[in-house]
Structure 1
Amino acid sequence: MGEWADLMQWPAFAASVAAAWLVGSKSEQRRNTGFWVFLASNVLWVCWGIPAGAKAVIALQVCLAVMNVRGLIKAKEAE
């Protein structure tokens, strides 16, 4: 795996942690931002998982992305 791909896991990790922090906020705007940051982390993990051959990580991130989109839709409906 290339060095760039190996380094990709750290921004993915940071985005995942930041998103979890934001989603746990009392602020509606921060929670909504958290869903978008989670989606970005899903993309980063997939970008890391493809060259790493981490099929389970890729599948997990696709499932989590679907749940994040569901969360965005439900948040929009609640407005």
Structure 2
Amino acid sequence: MDDLIDFLQWPAMLVTLLGCWWLASSHAGKRMLGFWCMVASNALWIIWGWHDEAYALITLQVGLLALNIRGIVKNEHAAAPSDRVPSGS
């Protein structure tokens, strides 16, 4: 089991890089995919960090998870059509 957990850092790193790639997209759908990849990578890093007792890493990932959830919410609102009526016309 230890070998499997030790190996987990590699998929976590790949998912993190893939998520960052999609986060840089100008397309809202790709950004959303990027945020979800980052949430998955946060979970993978937390599992790996717990096993290795890397508590600073776990704390960082919890903070980044909160920021990724914030990004998901903001991205959903930006992608939704506005209900506001333009003023001044």
Q: Same fold (TM over 0.5)?
A: yes
Q: Distance in 1 between matches of 2:77 and 2:27?
A: 17
Q: Give matches, 1:51-62, under 5 Å.
A: 51-62=51-62
> 1:37 — aligned with what?
37
Is it true that 1:69 corresponds to 2:74 in the alignment? no
Tell me the matched-pair count.
Answer: 79
The answer to whether the Cα contact below 8 Å between 2:42 and 2:64 also exists between their aligned partners in 1 is yes
Q: What amino acid maps onto 1:66 in structure 2?
A: A
- TM-score, structure 1 as length reference: 0.95
Higher helix share: 1
| Ranges in structure 1 where 5+ consecutive residues have no aligned partner | none
User: Which deviations, in whole Å up to 9, do the C-alpha atoms of 1:6-52 show, x marking residues without a partner?
Assistant: 10000000000000000001221111100000000000000100010
Higher relative contact order (CA 8 A, sep 6+): 1
- TM-score, structure 2 as length reference: 0.85
Q: What amino acid maps onto 1:59 in structure 2?
A: T
The 3-state SS of whatever aligns with 1:53 is coil
Q: Distance in 1 between matches of 2:75 and 2:28?
A: 9
| Ranges in structure 2 where 5+ consecutive residues have no aligned partner | 81-89
Superposed structure 1 runs of 4+ greater than 4 Å apart: none
